[in-house]
Structure 1
């Protein structure tokens, strides 16, 4: 008695529902990530101007320092201890990690130096400062 002769196997086709789910999840991820990237430059920090200002590349880590000395990374306020531990982790993962310090022009110099110290302790040497290009009608300061 072989009962399996009458059963036909159905071929399963390509399932589109899981593929659509994955595409929508990727779309949602990139939409949220782009919103966080826009928030990074809207914290309310006035950066000084400089003659040669280059555009920022995506792999750079942007550390914002507001005029009170608070540290902002990816839209979140970090303590000095948290920033230092994150910088050390980044240094181990990717040597030569570029860091941009975006400090308010009214912040105390000691806050900028402390972030530079943290970068040095984390063995990160590719550090630059965010500035704005000078205004077209600006007059050069006299010594």
Structure 2
């Protein structure tokens, strides 16, 4: 009796060792059903309407009217390498008139005037203020400053 009992155990193990395809087909169908249902809920990305910081869309910014005003140690004032007024003239009438004309011309073209004020290290502060007064008379607001003898 003991020998037949051992034989049945071997036969039962041999039956369960085969590859079962039916559960695999069930799993594949469930996965396929999941993806078919989820395919309808996928949202298509659209282009985002973003506004970047910068000048208003109606204003055209062109820095082609970039001026360089140099102030030398002796008080000489040069705009784009051309000397204006004498070193002793405190009101700078030629420089002021030229700046006003350039500003009006740039306003007519809807551009802005950008000025770089370059001074020598030993230039007098009084002369720098006189040039800044000429810029203020021309209503030029975009001014940057550099110190040194890069352009001389």
TM normalised by structure 2 equals: 0.46
Larger radius of gyration between Structure 1 and Structure 2: 2
TM normalised by structure 1 equals: 0.49
| Bigger RCO of structures 1 and 2 (CA < 8 A, at least 6 apart) | 1
